[in-house]
Amino acid sequence: MPATLRLAPASDPKRSANSDCPIRIVLADDHVAVRRSLRLVLDRVADVEVVAEATDRAAALERVRYHHPDVLVLDPQLHDGASIETIRQLRASVPDTSLVVISMEMSAVFAAGVIEAGALGFVLKERSNSDLPPALRAAVRCEEWISPSIRQAAERLRRPSVLTPTE
């Protein structure tokens, strides 16, 4: 998938893939087992540091404002009614933090909606072990990243369609 560049977060505009600083993240998921599993995966990734965890969107926003992470990893279907609209609200509230969504939803329509709402990444939970680290690295470079198994379908949905008069 060709990367779509966005403006670099103001907190670290010169961040590069070769930066010596770890990617600082906040994990937000309402399931303890999922957070623990993601944390175990990310704790083994040399260039990633989990600085905080959250169970709902209010706590996620509080922790992002306190820690100023590079990336918020968010399940937008938190028990407190979070949704794609939450992504828009978070982007407006904390524009200096990139957003990577993790989800069980295997829908290309959902993935495309997440990216259109302002997230830079969409990772399927079932593929988080392999897909989350590259999605985080892409996010700090302000590039979009979607799990490969639904990437092509999501990209097709995001392309403007041009219909002929007959169509």
Tokens of 97: 């933090």
Tokens of 150: 């639904």
- Look at residue 33 and tell me whether its pLDDT is greater than 60: yes
CATH number of 23-158: 3.40.50.2300
Tens of pLDDT, residues 62-107: 999 999 999 999 998 776 655 788 889 889 999 999 999 999 988 8
Phi-psi region of 146 (alpha: psi -120 to 50; beta: other; left: phi over 0): beta
Lateral strand order in the sheet of 121-124: 48-54, 23-28, 71-74, 98-103, 121-124, 145-146
- Whether the CB-CB separation of 63 and 106 falls below 8 Å is answered with no
- The predicted structure's pLDDT at residue 9: 44
Mean pLDDT value of segment 25-46:
94
Backbone angles phi, psi at 102, to 5 degrees: -115, 140
- Look at residue 15 and tell me whether its pLDDT is greater than 80: no
Q: Which of 149, 158, 144, 112 is nearest to 2 (CA)?
A: 144
| Residue 71 β-bridge partners | 25, 98
SS3 assignment, position 61: helix
Least confident of 4-18, 98-112, 120-134: 4-18
- Whether the CB-CB separation of 135 and 48 falls below 8 Å is answered with no
Distance CA 23, CA 135 (A): 11
Mean pLDDT value of segment 45-72:
94
- The predicted structure's pLDDT at residue 126: 92
pLDDT class for 8, splitting at 50, 70, 90? Answer: very low
